[in-house]
Chain A
Amino acid sequence: EPEVTQTPSHQVTQMGQEVILRCVPISNHLYFYWYRQILGQKVEFLVSFYNNEISEKSEIFDDQFSVERPDGSNFTLKIRSTKLEDSAMYFCASSEKGGSEAFFGQGTRLTVV
């Protein structure tokens, strides 16, 4: 069964460092998303991406965040100058069309120390 894969599963980084979280969406999907879940809290929308550009972003997705689809398969989330409060589980998701079922990856646990 097709699935969304995320790497790494766990990333530890020092405050102020840049991190790149990687995702391989399901191959025929056209819409891509990043969500995050701070420990014990709800899953929050960060950004949606379609046709090589951001479709929508939340207020959380400020200038320290960026997304990219560098090739035909990967979808990345870059966090510049990480802060302690960026520590969370980051989920990538993809869907075949807007509003339809989104398939989520297993997540990357980011710990900023």
Chain B
Amino acid sequence: AQSVTQLGSHVSVSEGALVLLRCNYSSSVPPYLFWYVQYPNQGLQLLLKYTTGATLVKGINGFEAEFKKSETSFHLTKPSAHMSDAAEYFCAVSRYSSASKIIFGSGTRLSIRP
């Protein structure tokens, strides 16, 4: 079975500060890992994904995440927060198999202080 744990339901940072959203996963098979962002009253947009290969993956809007197998983590970072980054962020896991479902974490709401 696969699962995702996001530490911190709400994170608040100042504009220009480092953003760090934590995600740990559990998977009995090599995972595919994703970060999705959800702006208020909107759908889910893929920020970045890890499938195989390079463990540091870069996504849209300056976000990146590093897959650390030894720590079963896939934390999301951005060096300098912008007001427009305020949103809900979901870490998710799936496995490569036919019609494999995506399992989402409970989400972290990111607030940006001026």
Contacts and interface: CB of A to CB of B under 8 A. Distances in A.
A69 B44 CA distance: 23
Question: For the complex, would chain A's binding face be called helix, strand, loop or mixed by DSSP majority?
Answer: strand
A31 B42 contact: no
Given A93-B102, A99-B32, A104-B43, 11 more contacts: A31-B98, A33-B102, A42-B104, A43-B90, A45-B104, A48-B101, A55-B99, A91-B43, A101-B34, A105-B43, A106-B43
B100 A98 contact: yes
A104 B101 contact: no
Interface in A49-69: 49-50, 55-56, 58
A102 interface: yes
Interface string A67-78: 000000000000
B96 A98 contact: yes
Q: Which of B94, B95, B99, B103 has the most CB of A within 10 A?
A: B99
Given A91-B43, A91-B44, A104-B43, A42 B99 contact: no
**3 A-B pairs closest in CB distance:** A55-B99, A99-B96, A99-B100
